[in-house]
Amino acid sequence: MRTLALLSTGGTIATTAGEQGLAVGVGADDLLSAAERVWGFGGVRVQTREVHRLVSFAESVGDVLALARAVREAAREVDGVVVTHGTDTMEEAAFLLALTHDSPVPVAFTGAQRPYDDPAPDGPRNLAAALRWVGDPRSDGTGVNVVFDGDVLPAVGTRKVDTLGLKAFRAPGRAPVAAVDADGVRLYAQAPKVPTLMRPDLEPPRVDVVAQYLGADATALRASVTAGARGVVVAGFGAGNPTPETTRTCVELLDSGVPVGLASRVGSGPVSGLYAEGGAELMRAGAVLMGDLSPWQARLLLAAALTHTDSASGVTERCRTWLAAVGAVPERG
Ligand SMILES: NC(=O)C[C@H](N)C(=O)O
């Protein structure tokens, strides 16, 4: 019989209505009981642990690292781990976990768009599907995935795409790994192998995301570095183009040894160094083109690389090697 661990962290799946609004009201045991009523748990035993009780927009990187340590501990003793988590930052938490995960034990993140006490909640079914996924030995070695509304999506590249709808996550441009429903698990694709890039006991340095919008100047970019950011990711227009002023300032930062990552504010597709005064200039200056990673995942990648080296070229090299390994950018020929 397979043994699984369920780690709860809060999120809407665990919220109940109160006078001030939704707040986390239940822990892992209640969530498990509700999920058990969906399809039952034939053939698996589930241990529970409450890691914290937070809505995910209130979590810090430190909270997610504490979760990563709890997952690492659990993975030494069980065959699969499910994390219930808020959806607002699930794509970041799952990505950070993927950067730290060094075991063949599968990890599934899940949550809900509707509260625990909703008359028609989606949480129990999502949790039942996540348990079914990691309870299936075919999930071994697939790393960290997000299981939501029947889809198993790789942590790398997954984004929240709907504020309230039940199909809240997609991984645009990437194949779903599997589907889970009442009949069982259908395997679709091999999950990308994600190289470990950081230790869960080491808080990474500050890296900020700087948004681009019509006429954006470099005020926020400079303020980030003044506030102590050791790297920045620009959420550029289109295929990765900042305004000319942002581009000039990024080139200055790169020249002074601050690594710069380039991602896009568009919700899907890779960035590419195409335009003079934009992405092409940043690429020549040594910025990391972050492939199809969202700015939020790109920021965590840059921060993880900074835990290994202070040198901007060393950070750039680590990020590029990692991005190629997960298929986010082409292999260099
Ligand atoms: N659906 C959700 O879980 C959203 C909630 N605000 C959270 O991230 O905790």
Examine the domain organization and report whether 233 and 142 are in the same domain. no
Question: How far apart are the CA of 56 and the centre of ligand 1, in A?
Answer: 6
Would 194 be classed as within a structural domain? no
Q: Residue 89 CA: which ligand 1 atom is closest? A: 8
Question: How far apart are the CA of 311 and the centre of ligand 1, in A?
Answer: 37
Cα–Cα distance, 214 to 237 (Å, whole number): 9
CATH number of residue 74's parent domain: 3.40.50.1170
The Cα-based distances of 311 to 155, 283, 304, 316 in angstroms read 28, 17, 13, 9
Spatial CA neighbour of 233 closest among 265, 185, 203 = 265
Examine the domain organization and report whether 50 and 152 are in the same domain. yes
Predicted confidence (pLDDT) per residue in 210-261, tens digit:
999 999 999 999 999 999 999 999 999 999 999 999 999 999 999 999 999 9
Tokens found for residue 314: 């060393």
Would 192 be classed as within a structural domain? no
Cα–Cα distance, 303 to 264 (Å, whole number): 18
The burial class, CB within 10 Å (0-12 / 13-18 / 19+), for 282 is buried
Question: How far apart are the CA of 256 and the centre of ligand 1, in A?
Answer: 39
Ligand 1 atom 7: residue of nearest CA: 86
Our mutation pick for probing the ligand 1 site, out of 9, 57, 92, counting the most ligand atoms within 8 A of Cβ, is 57
Predicted confidence (pLDDT) per residue in 83-98, tens digit:
999 999 999 999 999 9
| Structural domain containing residue 116 | 2-187
Predicted confidence (pLDDT) per residue in 1-53, tens digit:
999 999 999 999 999 999 999 999 999 999 999 999 999 988 899 999 999 99
Known catalytic residues are 12, 87
Predicted confidence (pLDDT) per residue in 267-316, tens digit:
999 999 999 989 999 999 999 999 999 999 999 999 999 999 989 999 99
CATH number of residue 306's parent domain: 3.40.50.40
The conformation of residue 269, written as its DSSP 8-state character, comes to S
Question: How far apart are the CA of 22 and the centre of ligand 1, in A?
Answer: 10
Q: Residues lining ligand 1, judged by CB closer than 6 Å?
A: 11-12, 55-57, 86-88, 111, 113
Residue 175: per-residue pLDDT? 87
State which of 155, 187, 219 marks the end of a domain.
187
Q: Residue 168 CA: which ligand 1 atom is closest? A: 1
Would 200 be classed as within a structural domain? no
Ligand 1 atom 3: residue of nearest CA: 86
Work out the average pLDDT over 73-89.
Answer: 98
State which of 187, 221, 251 marks the end of a domain.
187
Residue 192: per-residue pLDDT? 84
